[in-house]
């Protein structure tokens, strides 16, 4: 996700989906992110319009990038690390030779890559993914 490269809010313009850089760095998926960020942008606008014109409204709109970062930043930081690992042929060879033979590891990787975990309420794989995500700094 390119939140750090491209502002999600600029002078009254809220960006969502691909325009806001919200694409899953693990697999390139973006439709669910477009829908979710569209909803977030709409909620932000409703909140801003409920405030008086001027600084209060502007402040509400300026919180939008922080909201995106809170929702997606840590997962996307993990994705950046994952892509860095994939750029190393020795790591890819090792993972292919050893990881693909273990269905539980493949399942965990697919959940992580798809951002499909149930967090702390899920099974131990979900809790492990939640712990990894929590340790990653938001981008």
pLDDT digits (tens, 9 = 90+) for 92-110: 999 889 988 899 999 998 8
Tell whether the model's pLDDT for residue 124 goes beyond 50: yes
Domain boundaries, the chain: 9-135
Over residues 80-91, the pLDDT tens digits come to: 998 899 899 999
Cβ(80)–Cβ(133) under 8 Å?
no
List the beta strands (DSSP E) in 1-139. 9-10, 13-14
Average pLDDT over residues 31-55: 95
Q: Give the model's pLDDT for residue 12.
A: 64
Which has the higher per-residue pLDDT, 4 or 60?
Answer: 60
């Amino acid at each position: 996700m390119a939140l750090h490269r491209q502002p999600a809010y600029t002078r009254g313009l809220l960006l969502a989906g691909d325009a806001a850089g919200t694409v899953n760095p693990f697999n390139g998926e973006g439709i669910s992110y477009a829908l979710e960020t569209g909803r977030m942008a709409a909620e932000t606008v409703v909140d801003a319009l409920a405030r008086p014109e001027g600084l209060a409204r502007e402040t509400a709109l300026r919180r939008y990038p922080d909201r995106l970062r809170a929702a997606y930043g840590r997962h996307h930081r993990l994705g950046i690390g994952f892509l860095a690992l994939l750029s190393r042929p020795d790591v890819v060879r090792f993972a292919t030779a050893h990881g693909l033979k273990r269905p539980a590891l493949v399942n965990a990787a697919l959940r992580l890559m798809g951002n499909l975990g149930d967090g702390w309420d899920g099974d131990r794989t979900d809790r492990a993914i939640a712990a990894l995500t929590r340790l990653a700094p938001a981008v």
